[in-house]
Amino acid sequence: MSTKTFTVGIVGARGHTGAELIKLIAAHPHLQLGFVSSRELAGQRVSDHHSDWHGELQFENLDADAVAAKGMDAVILALPNGLSAPFVAALDAARPETVIVDLSADQRFEPSWYYGLPELTRGDYLGQKHISNPGCYATAMQLAISPLLQQLAGPPQCFGVSGYSGAGTTPSDKNNPELLRDNLMPYALTNHVHEREVTAHLRVPVEFMPHVAPHFRGITMTVNLWLNTVVTREDVIALYQKYYANEALIDVIDEAPWVSQIAGRHGVQIGGFDVAPGGKRVVVVATLDNLLKGAATQAMQNLNLALGLDELASIPH
């Protein structure tokens, strides 16, 4: 593994995920934060907004060409969907060796980009410089489904509930604490982008029903799986334990995980395994922090992998 220090920049650093990325980079022994770009915070010191960061580095308002001119070893794009293209084009033109990790959905359906869900796709990484970070809901769904993927008898049904940080910092009904108080808000109940994402990458149709709840962070994903073989609860637990035996960030537990116990943690809990009478219907529950394993932690895994570093460097586990 490499022991050199690499420079990294963040575009779109004002949001919740940007804050988590700054924290992870600050703790990293081999990464140096070269710039943070945010239109709203330009000119302000990073340390004034993030207690984990020390020094005089300031936020800048950088366009695509200015980002490319920084000459970073890696750039993390933490932008809303639909905004990454000019940054990718500028970086490819000026410095094609730069590793780009895109946290938006813009490249998740692009086959020339490595789709970075390491626990499932690590073997597909062949040195690609372009890495697409999976969606938070999509990460939970794929990790919950994959051990039983070959035994499916029909589309998995996925009931997801996220904290309102998943709706970003731009004001909307889905991140308004007053509207969410004592409420569970369903939205995009068919054809959600993460439904299409999981369907594309698992190569099976998936049905997903997202909701947003009053808590700030964390996802609960309850997945209903119809199988073509009869199983027992013990069979299922043993299968998941074997499948994720070597994964430091995935914890297979007996009981149904609670979202309050995963908030602020970098891994995933999968449990609550229940088998319906007849043995062909299984329900599995997965929880993760949407800002961490659903975004920043996964980006750090992917960046470490691309730079030849320990995949878990700077990630508490």
The residues annotated with a catalytic role in the active site are 136
Check if the beta carbon of residue 49 is closer than 8 Å to that of residue 41.
yes
Cα–Cα distance for residue pair 90/76, rounded to 1 Å? 14
Helix intervals (H) in 35-130: 64-69, 85-94, 118-121
**Separation in Å, CA 167 to CA 15, 36, 101, 162, 238:** 10, 21, 20, 9, 35
Place of tokens 């609670």: 258
Place of tokens 């999509």: 138
β-strands 157-162, 219-226 pairing? antiparallel
In the chain, DSSP finds a helix count (H) and a strand count (E) of: 9, 14
Check if the beta carbon of residue 164 is closer than 8 Å to that of residue 212.
yes
Cα–Cα distance for residue pair 13/109, rounded to 1 Å? 24
Cα–Cα distance for residue pair 49/299, rounded to 1 Å? 21
